[in-house]
Amino acid sequence: MTEVTGKTDPIQSVALSDDGGSVVILDQTQLPNREEYLTLTTAKEMYDAIYYLKVRGAPAIGICAGYCVYCLARQSGSEDYDAFLAAFRRAKDYLNSARPTAVNLSWALNRMEGVVLAQRERPVPAILAALEAECRLIHEEDIAMCAAISRHGLTLLKDGDGVLTHCNAGPLATSRYGTALGPLFLGWEQGLRFRVFADETRPLLQGARLTSYELRRAGIDVTLICDNMASIVMKNGWIQACLVGCDRVAANGDTANKIGTSGVAILAKHYGIPFYVLGPTSTIDLRCPTGDNIEIELRPPEEIREKFYREPMAPSDVKCYNPAFDVTDHRLIAGIVTEGGICRPPYEKSLAALF
């Protein structure tokens, strides 16, 4: 177990290998007990890393996707543009099928494809060089984005506040400060002290395994709670704000995030606590009118019945409904914090204004 250091130097969760031929990730499924890095070289390894949440968090998935499709493009071996483009698109479509809800996956892959199309008159080696520059730029932009979101989000908090989080949107899910956790790390560096209550976030426990791990590592006061305890800590007056991330934001401000987020927002509304969503503009999908248009990923039933248990904790043949995300109605959201500033209702106008 990592010792509490009082530092906010986050672990690098995604990187391009030194030789540029593979992607190196911190396997988040092994945390908090083991810090294991994986080297992804084949398309199947890359797909599995995304699908099985070895790399997770919308921005981190986007960063990883950019690096992955670049590495696969290097493997195509074709000097003919049309053949190169066809191979690129096969790799892109395969990676894009790993997880449907997080828009950053398709966003990053489409951005990389745009480079290939824009460079069509150039030789393949020049296209590969442009792809490498673009995937590195996606990562660099994410670091700057996290810093900006953290600054804007910090204006919503004051010293001594109690903050409730759900799932994980820290450095592991992004880069540097993270999104929803970013204001907490930045405020800590500035001498502010918060009391954080982290929902465990069933069924995959990202709050317990990752959020509490990151905050404790930085020395920030964090208390882990079960998901069904959010109401009582709010009723006790211990929460002054809720900060959550997002995987997709519809044009009307509805947001998709880890399952259970909508319930937190409903409770916060009841207790008069502001509920904020923090995420980059790359998660905003203006082509998606409302949350009803967001495809919700369904996960295997084994994650409910037996994952993390020594033996199954439910009948082996019981039916399971295991959505990975839910959609929070825009009317429950006090503000959507992006690198471009804080959007307020009506979101149709404030979100569109960012672009």
DSSP H or E stretch at residue 206: helix 206-206
What is the per-residue pLDDT for 212? 96
The SS3 of residue 40 is: strand
Q: Which one, of 168, 167, 200, 203, lies nearest residue 321 by Cα?
A: 203
In the CATH hierarchy, which fold is given to the domain comprising 150-353? Rossmann fold (3.40.50)
Output the DSSP codes for 53-98.
TSS-SHHHHHHHHHHHHHHHHHTS---SHHHHHHHHHHHHHHHHTS
Q: Which of 2-16, 51-65, 185-199 has the highest mean pLDDT?
A: 185-199
Q: State CA 122 to chain mean position distance.
A: 35
Q: Which class for 345: exposed (0-12), middle (13-18), buried (19 or more C-beta within 10 A)? A: middle
- pLDDT tens across 157-185, in order? 999 999 999 999 999 988 889 999 999 99
Q: How would residue 84 be classed by pLDDT, with cut points 50, 70 and 90? A: very high
pLDDT confidence band for 322 (50 / 70 / 90): very high
Task: Give the homologous superfamily in CATH for domain 14-146.
Answer: translation initiation factor eif-2b, domain 1 (1.20.120.420)
pLDDT of residue 305: 94
Catalytic residue among 142, 227, 247, 326: 247
How far apart CA 147 and CA 136 sit, in angstroms, is: 17
pLDDT at 1 over 60: no
Active site residue 18: no
Tell me if 57 sits within 8 A of 31, measured CB to CB. no
pLDDT class of 2 with cuts at 50, 70, 90: very low
Look at residue 103 in the predicted model and tell me its pLDDT. 80
- Domain ranges for the chain: 14-146, 150-353
Question: Scanning the structure block, which residue is given the tokens 């730029």?
Answer: 137
Of the candidates 62, 11, 345, 45, which has an alpha carbon nearest to the alpha carbon of residue 210? 11
Percent of the chain whose predicted confidence (pLDDT) is above 90: 89
pLDDT of residue 30: 94
pLDDT, tens only, 18-76: 999 999 999 999 999 999 999 999 999 999 999 999 999 888 999 999 999 999 999 99
How large is the average pLDDT for residues 227-244?
98
- Helix and strand element counts for the chain (H, E): 12, 14
Q: Work out the mean pLDDT of the chain and round it to a whole number.
A: 94
What was the pLDDT predicted at 146? 93
Q: Cα–Cα distances in Å, from 198 out to 167, 215, 230?
A: 8, 10, 9
Instruction: Specify whether the CB–CB gap between 288 and 294 falls below 8 A.
Output: yes
267, pLDDT greater than 60: yes
Q: Return the structure tokens found at 287.
A: 């082509």
How sure is the predictor about 5, in pLDDT bands with cuts at 50, 70 and 90? very low
Q: Would you state the pLDDT for residue 3? A: 41
Residues 249-265: tens digit of each pLDDT: 999 999 999 999 999 99
